[in-house]
Amino acid sequence: MAKLYFYYASMNAGKSTTLLQADFNYRERGMRTLLFTAGIHDRGGKGMIDSRIGLRQAAIPFDEETDLRLIAEDEHFKAPLACILVDESQFLSAAQVRQLAHLADEVGIPVLCYGLRTDFQARLFPGSAELLALADALIEIKSVCECGRKATMNLRVDDSGNAVREGEQREVGGNERYIALCRRHFMQRSGGVA
């Protein structure tokens, strides 16, 4: 039976690398995959899943209006899909997560979603909240805080390295914009934004 998986972690934990490794494993065995990534994410170029260690793969970019179910069912009709992989899944809408659940439950395609659990204010992203509610399996990918403890939070910083406490939930950035921290150090540096 196909399942809906949510692999979540803080920034810089290797979520995209893990996704690309899973994709490679399927394709190496002659199985067909379908990759999606958030259109807002353009670190490696629009429609590219890229990792900090240099792995890259083209993907279908999505926004809030994209019908993932329709795209996947059309592709599955052309040739069976062994797996659907979604990067930056925190940017999914609740409706899109339900579309992915349908693909697992009714079409029988495993769906692996990779993304952040919370934003820079320690609030759930809408896509992450729906995945936490509906996923068959929740898998945490570990990252490390500067103190050596498990990093679970994402601190947004300005150009001077100071904590940013307000702003849009959706802001793409890398090491220059976000620091993965344990809760204790996140609360200390952010002033308890949560």
Q: How far is CA 153 from CA 84, 86, 132, 167, 169, in A?
A: 27, 21, 16, 17, 14
The span from the CA of 101 to the CA of 189, in Å, is 37
- 75 is annotated as an active-site residue: no
Token pair 């001077």: residue: 160
State the catalytic residue, choosing from 28, 75, 88, 146.
88
Q: CB 15: neighbour CB atoms within 10 A?
A: 24
The secondary structure element, H or E, covering residue 7 is strand 4-9
List residues with catalytic annotation: 88
